[in-house]
């Protein structure tokens, strides 16, 4: 699945995963003919976020590219993470995760609904028209949220993008939710 999602050769994906496992960056488990990988701990998510932050600070071309990818800053959520969590908990806002369902099932922001980008247009009726909608995906480099915000605003919804993804949330020490295995 990972090789297909990245559009790379299966052997290349396997070699990268083996190297990451040897470095204990990822852990794996076997399930029949499949091998499932996950980050080996929350510190790995923190490492990734910190490394990206350092790169943004020191590489002007990365800042320019990120700004171009992030789109208009007025669509970014300016609320602190804890306040956003409280608003989602109270139902004042709706948080949607536009990543594929299997990623949502693995880990997602508390109170987030799974509305994969591929299904979003067909499922618009599930969203309240009278509440702000906060959209997130895989972090600041993921364009799924940008696409979702454009679609939602074009349909009359009040939508904003959360720059964070699961790794940023976890690196900040905030809770994550998971779908219980059947």
pLDDT digits (tens, 9 = 90+) for 33-68: 888 888 888 888 888 888 888 888 888 887 787 767
Whether the model pTM is above 0.85: no
Domains, in order of start, for the chain? 2-40 (no CATH), 44-171 (3.40.250.10)
Q: What is the mean pLDDT of the chain?
A: 87
**Higher-pLDDT residue of 84, 39:** 84
**In this predicted structure, what is the pLDDT of residue 104?**
95
Residue pLDDT, tens place only, 146-178: 999 999 999 999 999 998 999 898 888 888 998
**Higher-pLDDT residue of 63, 23:** 23
Which residue's entry shows tokens 């594929």?
Answer: 100
Active site residues: 137
**In this predicted structure, what is the pLDDT of residue 179?**
85
Residues 90-114, mean pLDDT to the nearest whole number: 94
**In this predicted structure, what is the pLDDT of residue 77?**
65
Give the CA distances from residue 148 to residues 10, 65, 102, 108, 130, in Å, rounded to whole numbers and listed in that order. Answer: 30, 20, 18, 17, 17
Residue % of the chain over a pLDDT of 90 = 48
Each residue of 128-152: b (16+ CB within 10 Å) or e?
A: eeeebbbbbbbbbebebbbbbbebb
- Do residues 89 and 126 touch, judged by C-beta distance below 8 A? no
Helix 42-58 vs helix 60-70: crossing angle, to nearest 10: 110
């Amino acid at each position: 699945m990972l090789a297909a999602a990245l559009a790379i050769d299966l052997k290349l994906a396997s070699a990268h995963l083996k190297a990451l496992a040897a470095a204990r960056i990822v852990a794996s488990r076997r399930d029949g003919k499949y091998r499932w990988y996950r980050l080996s701990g929350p510190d790995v998510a923190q490492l990734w976020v910190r490394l990206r932050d350092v790169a943004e600070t020191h590489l002007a071309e990365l800042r320019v590219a990120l700004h171009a990818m992030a789109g208009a800053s007025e669509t970014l959520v300016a609320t602190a993470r804890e306040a956003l969590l409280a608003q989602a908990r109270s139902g004042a806002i709706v948080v949607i995760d536009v990543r594929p369902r299997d990623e949502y099932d693995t880990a997602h922001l508390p109170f987030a609904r799974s509305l994969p980008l591929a299904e979003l247009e067909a499922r618009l009726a599930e969203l309240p028209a009278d509440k702000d909608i906060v959209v997130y995906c895989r972090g600041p480099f993921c364009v799924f949220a940008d696409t979702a915000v454009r679609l939602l605003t074009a349909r009359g919804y009040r939508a904003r993008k959360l720059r964070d993804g699961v790794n940023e949330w976890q690196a900040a020490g905030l809770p994550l939710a998971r779908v219980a295995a059947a």
